[in-house]
């Protein structure tokens, strides 16, 4: 399913090389425009560096060594995935003898660590007050507030429609077509948050837009990942540790800490397995630290 950002993407069309161009002709029929642009840019950079569109083990290793110094772990993994797909394409068409050397790259992906930071209520309030004081767009204020309260994934929040908030039964409807797991879920809105939800909807009604999305930018267009990225650095001027996923982590940890119910936290985060929730919230790590702390108190009496 395409989102609003896809329609704004300028699809690159300048030729790169015969083999890469033919590979991209297939990809443009298989993936979204924004994804296709990623393939194009990564293969363009590969061709510019390698000066060839033929992939061998030596060339791949040399390029990966080069690119690892230029990009972060997440982008490195995207380059690796793109080049593996392209290499298999070359092998399937007998342009290269074999792609078997890719077997040694199965475990070559880099670990992408996202440091999790928990925000207690007073820090959330301080953070949001700073967002208002520094005159960030009002949609960003509401986006961050909703994220901290319900732990909805940032991308899922950006795709919420106004009608997904139901004031009759006080729920937020996470439709299957917008969720990462492709499973519909309803989140109940607790009584204490209902006045704030009404304020959010009141703000939304004042926006001059034809968009049906809950969050729209200053021009009345549905917000995109680009809109969020553009404000990331400024938000970190408020708190250097802040990431959008801290909102989700905070909501999940608060739910577990106050209820003591890991199953409830798993339902809030929409995890299918509580072990996934334990790992996400780093619960076992916290327990191990607490046990060590108690033993240290005995050791250092």
Residue 106 above 70 pLDDT? no
pLDDT given for residue 7 in this prediction: 47
Q: What is the mean pLDDT of residues 235-239?
A: 91
Q: How confident is the model at residue 210 (pLDDT cuts 50, 70, 90)?
A: very high
Q: Is the pLDDT score of 2 beyond 50?
A: no
User: In which band, very low, low, confident or very high, does the pLDDT at 109 lie, cut at 50, 70 and 90?
Assistant: low
| 264-272: average pLDDT | 93
CB 117 within 8 A of CB 41: no
What is the band of 110 on the pLDDT scale with cuts at 50, 70, 90? Answer: low
**What pLDDT was estimated at residue 1?**
46
Q: Where does the pLDDT of residue 289 fall: very low under 50, low under 70, confident under 90, or very high at 90 and above?
A: low
Q: What pLDDT is attached to residue 258?
A: 92
% of the chain beyond a pLDDT of 90: 67
Region of poorest pLDDT, from 12-16, 20-24, 171-175: 12-16
Q: Does the predicted model carry a pTM greater than 0.85?
A: no
List the domains of the chain with CATH numbers: 4-105 (1.10.150), 121-289 (1.10.443.10)
Q: How many CB atoms lie within 10 A of CB 250?
A: 22
- How much is the average pLDDT of 149-170? 96
Q: Summarize pLDDT for 31-78 with one digit per residue, the tens.
A: 888 889 999 999 999 999 999 999 999 999 999 999 988 887 778 889
Q: Give pLDDT tens digits for 161-208.
A: 999 999 999 999 999 999 988 899 999 999 999 999 999 999 999 999
User: Of 140 and 31, which is predicted with more confidence?
Assistant: 140
């Amino acid at each position: 399913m395409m989102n609003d950002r896809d329609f704004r993407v300028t699809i690159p069309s300048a030729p790169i090389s015969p083999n890469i161009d033919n590979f991209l002709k297939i990809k443009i029929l298989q993936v979204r425009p924004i994804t296709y642009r990623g393939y194009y840019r990564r293969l363009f950079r590969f061709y510019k560096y390698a000066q060839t569109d033929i992939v061998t083990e030596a060339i791949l290793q040399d390029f990966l060594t080069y690119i690892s110094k230029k990009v972060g772990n997440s982008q490195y993994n995207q380059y690796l995935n793109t080049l593996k797909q392209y290499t298999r394409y070359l092998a399937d068409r007998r342009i290269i003898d074999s792609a078997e050397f890719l077997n040694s790259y199965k475990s070559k992906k880099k670990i992408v660590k996202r440091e999790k930071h928990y925000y207690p209520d007073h820090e959330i309030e301080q953070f949001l007050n700073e967002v208002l004081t520094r005159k960030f767009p009002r949609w960003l204020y509401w986006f961050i507030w909703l994220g901290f309260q319900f732990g909805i994934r940032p991308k899922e929040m950006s795709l919420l429609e106004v009608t997904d908030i139901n004031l009759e039964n006080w729920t937020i409807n996470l439709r299957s077509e917008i969720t990462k797991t492709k499973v519909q879920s309803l989140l109940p809105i607790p009584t204490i948050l209902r006045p704030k939800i009404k304020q959010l909807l009141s703000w939304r009604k004042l926006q001059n837009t034809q968009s049906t999305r809950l969050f729209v930018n200053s021009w009345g267009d549905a917000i995109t990942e680009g809109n969020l990225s553009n404000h990331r650095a400024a938000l970190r001027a408020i708190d250097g540790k802040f990431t959008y996923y801290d909102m989700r982590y905070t909501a999940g940890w608060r739910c577990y800490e106050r209820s003591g119910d890991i199953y409830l936290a798993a339902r809030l985060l929409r995890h299918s397995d509580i072990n996934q929730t334990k790992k996400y919230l780093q619960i076992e790590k916290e327990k191990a630290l607490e046990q060590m702390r108690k033993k240290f108190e005995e050791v250092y009496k």
